[in-house]
Amino acid sequence: MTTTPNRICQLFQIKYPIIQGGMIWCSGWQLASAVSNAGGLGLIGAGSMYPEILDEHIQKCKKATNAPYGVNLPLLYPNIEAHIQTIIKHKVPIVFTSAGNPSTWTQTLQNEGIKVVHVVSSVKFAQKAEAAGVDAIVAEGFEAGGHNGRDETTTLCLIPMVKKAVQIPLLAAGGIASGAAMLAVMNLGADAVQIGSRFAASIESSAHQNFKEAVIAAEEGSTLLTLKELTPVRLLKNPFFEQVQAAYAAGSSTEELKNLLGRGRAKKGMFEGDLIEGELEIGQIAGSFEKILSAQEIVQEIVGQYNLTLTQQQAL
């Protein structure tokens, strides 16, 4: 990858414009620090952590890397004020917010010198985030793992439309796990990429080995976006997913779907490795993974492919 000035590399003071998306049950301090040490930006996923756990992960991350790192904060988190205080206390340099209104906390964080990035899945919300004063936007297409937009706009369609609508730096997310895909979205106007699924199946991911192996075994068509009435989420098709499908077929109400999902399904699946009863969040691109790799290997592989594809493109 060339070291041409890049808006995201400059904003975050990182070597490569590769961000590891915050992921519940997967991105603790080990993964975040490994990605940051590899020259990207690692994010601790605060969405599955109690405040004291987040505190511990930030402290360990700071010990494990001298490079910039960040925290991903889903804004619907019930104890959000405690997380905000922890982030400010530890002088976390970068916060990626998601799932909520960016105008609530952006200014508070920026007043502390923290860079704020917000994740969106539509042009309308990208404009709202820019108006709220965030430093950059992640536009995430519906092929992405985890919670997702209702409109099903794919990354290929979303990035050029968001690019046209906003001026601030833009990161593309959803379906990116190779250097060729990274170059493609950068050709569409992205300044950087946010990658989730590929890092969920890395050595440093805190997910259970069973989940990582299920992700590696995934093929094209192994995931589907579901539970749109609650929060749309892309899941690996497993027996729990089949239960959700059966509930739809039986005409279940939103309340019944909520009861079926219950509490702790994601932890059960991704962290405890229960592939039968657990919820397994992953993106479409998992169908292309062949091996569990280290974060360093993933970053190096992507950078190598990016450079090769760019050279081939320039030779055309």
Residues near ligand FMN (CB under 6 A): 21-24, 26, 45, 47, 72, 74, 98, 119, 140, 143-146, 173-176, 194-197, 200, 270, 281-283, 285
User: Nearer Cβ to ligand FMN, position 22 or 102?
Assistant: 22
User: Nearer Cβ to ligand FMN, position 252 or 287?
Assistant: 287
Cβ(16)–Cβ(40) below 8 Å: yes
Minimum distance from residue 124 beta carbon to ligand FMN (Å): 18
User: Nearer Cβ to ligand FMN, position 252 or 267?
Assistant: 267
Minimum distance from residue 91 beta carbon to ligand FMN (Å): 22
User: Nearer Cβ to ligand FMN, position 53 or 252?
Assistant: 53
> String of b and e for 176-214 (b: at least 16 CB within 10 Å)?
bbbbbbbbbbbebebbbbbbbbbbbbbebbbbbebbbeb
> Distance (Å, rounded) from C-alpha 197 to C-alpha 209?
14
Minimum distance from residue 163 beta carbon to ligand FMN (Å): 18
Cβ(239)–Cβ(276) below 8 Å: yes
Cβ(27)–Cβ(270) below 8 Å: no
Rounded (5°) CA angle 3-7-10: 70
Minimum distance from residue 98 beta carbon to ligand FMN (Å): 3
Minimum distance from residue 83 beta carbon to ligand FMN (Å): 12
- Look at the block and give the residue holding tokens 């509930």: 247
Minimum distance from residue 96 beta carbon to ligand FMN (Å): 7
Minimum distance from residue 314 beta carbon to ligand FMN (Å): 27
Minimum distance from residue 142 beta carbon to ligand FMN (Å): 10
Cβ(284)–Cβ(177) below 8 Å: no
Q: How many CA atoms are closer than 13 Å to the CA of 215, on its beta-carbon side?
A: 34
Residue 88 makes CB contacts below 8 A (sequence gap 6+) with 109, 112, 114
> String of b and e for 266-292 (b: at least 16 CB within 10 Å)?
bbbbbbbbbbeebbbbbbbbbbebeeb
User: Nearer Cβ to ligand FMN, position 203 or 252?
Assistant: 203
Provide the pairing of β-strand 170-173 with 94-98: unpaired
Cβ(31)–Cβ(204) below 8 Å: yes
User: Nearer Cβ to ligand FMN, position 11 or 177?
Assistant: 177
Helix-, strand-, coil-residue percentages of the chain, each rounded to 5: 45, 15, 40
> Which position's Cβ is nearest ligand FMN?
196
User: Nearer Cβ to ligand FMN, position 102 or 174?
Assistant: 174
Minimum distance from residue 190 beta carbon to ligand FMN (Å): 13
User: Nearer Cβ to ligand FMN, position 143 or 274?
Assistant: 143
User: Nearer Cβ to ligand FMN, position 9 or 176?
Assistant: 176
